[in-house]
Structure 1
Amino acid sequence: MTTDRAAPAVYSAEIPEPNITRFLFADTRLAPLWLLLRLYVGYEWLSAGWDKFTNPAGVWVGDKAGAAVSGFLNGALKKTSGDHPDVQGYYAWFVQHVALPNAAFLSYLVTYGEILVGVALILGLFTGIAAFFGGLMNANYLLAGTVSTNPALFVLATLLVLAWRTSGYWGLDRWILPRIGVPGAPGTLFRHSTPQTRQT
């Protein structure tokens, strides 16, 4: 004999955003600060990608595409030894079985990805998304054992993602986001207009 039991009620509550985070990440008065950070990060990505695109040896884009990536990844595999290796085993597996066999494709992906992220950040176009992919590239460089400017750029990219509402406010996002919308809030281009009822 079975008895039907009512499913337990599921309660949800919205946790209010602290004033300090609302001021830092959602207040347009800080838009000039986010503009400066955005331009700096965007310039770093654009210049890095442009250097690869215009490389005279063609090791990033061209006849020898993949050569630079292969050299970089093979160098990363040499950093997997010791008690505290610079490159962890799981990432070494990814490098050996996924990245290296597709080095030529990754070469184009990295080059154009860096350029696109840089341009988008400089223009303030889909700033949060661009900063996310920039941070993702920084994370991969760090996982491959390369420090350089990656820690600083990763932190700045994370902050730009958190401030996505205002980091592109002095940019194209100010006009584009209201029109296309954000998840859960469609923009003016996608809202269905309600037909007006004719009054007699």
Structure 2
Amino acid sequence: MIGNFLRTNRWAAVVLTFARIWLGWSWLKSGWGKVTGGFDASGFMANAINNPVAKGDTIVYPNYVAFLENFAAPNIDVFNFIVPWGEVLVGLGLILGCLTTAAAFFGVVMNFAFMFAGTMSTNPMMVLISIFLFVAAANAGRYGLDRWVMPYLREKIKGLRKDGKSLNT
């Protein structure tokens, strides 16, 4: 019932638009500060590896720590590029209402990565708002570029199917 309300109601779309723009601004501001400020995640990663979230002597997220140690830290240059630009793109997507559901999803992924590393800040609130945007789907971008982008993408996908082309190739 609430899912249907979020996905179809025009007044819900208005409220979601304000939430979307606020959340997008938070992402954009954070990401742009990193893009222009010489961001380096190596200290953050080293701290997350050396001081993981633990309950007593037990590491709470051992798989995440292993990911940081074995993949993220050795590829720090990639993450120094992906994190700030990812934040900027999520922010722009949410502010403009363009690919809103995808932007909300990737925002949640980044928020959880920060929380797995032990950072709380505004991350739980941002996840909660993103979940509402994600559940609302296209209605969250009704008053944004999704109004035109989503029908265009649907038609393109339909056209691919009619031509007998697989979307997997």
TM surpasses 0.5: yes
The partner residue of 1:170 within 136, 143, 161 is 143
- 1:171 and 1:86, CA in 2 relative to 1: closer, same or farther beyond 3 A? farther
Partners of 2:138 and 2:8 lie apart in 1 by 6
Distance apart, 1:79 and its partner CA: 2.4
Q: CA RMSD in A?
A: 2.2
- Higher Rg of the two aligned structures: 1
Q: Which runs of 5+ in 1 are unaligned?
A: 1-18, 61-67, 194-200
1:110 and 1:20 mapped to 2: Cα distance? Answer: 33
Q: Give TM-score, length-normalised by structure 2.
A: 0.87
Of the candidates 46, 49, 52, which is equivalent to residue 31 of structure 2?
49
Deviations along 1:49-98, one digit per CA (max 9) or x if unpaired, are: 0000111xx2x2xxxxxxx3110011112323552767522211111111
Q: CA deviation at 1:27?
A: 2.0
Q: For the residues of structure 2 that align with 1:167 and 1:73, how far apart are their CA atoms?
A: 33
**Displacement over 4 Å in runs of 4+:** 84-87, 189-193
Say which of 2, 13, 18 aligns to 1:36: 18
Q: How does 1:115-134 map to 2 (within 5 A)?
A: 115-134=88-107
2:96–2:145 CA contact under 8 A, matched in 1: yes
The answer as to whether partners of 1:86 and 1:144 remain within 8 angstroms in 2 is no
Larger relative helix fraction = 2
Higher relative contact order (CA 8 A, sep 6+): 2
Identity of aligned residues (%): 36
Give the conservation status (yes or no) of the 8 Å contact 1:79–1:86: no
- For 2:110 and 2:136, locate their aligned partners in 1 and report how far apart those are by CA, in whole Å: 19
SS of alignment partner, residue 148 of structure 1:
coil
What SS does structure 2 have at the residue aligned with 1:181? helix
Q: 1:108 to 1:27 in 2, by over 3 A?
A: same
In the comparison of the two structures, how many residue pairs are matched?
162
What does 1:98-177 correspond to in 2, within 5 Å? 98-177=71-150
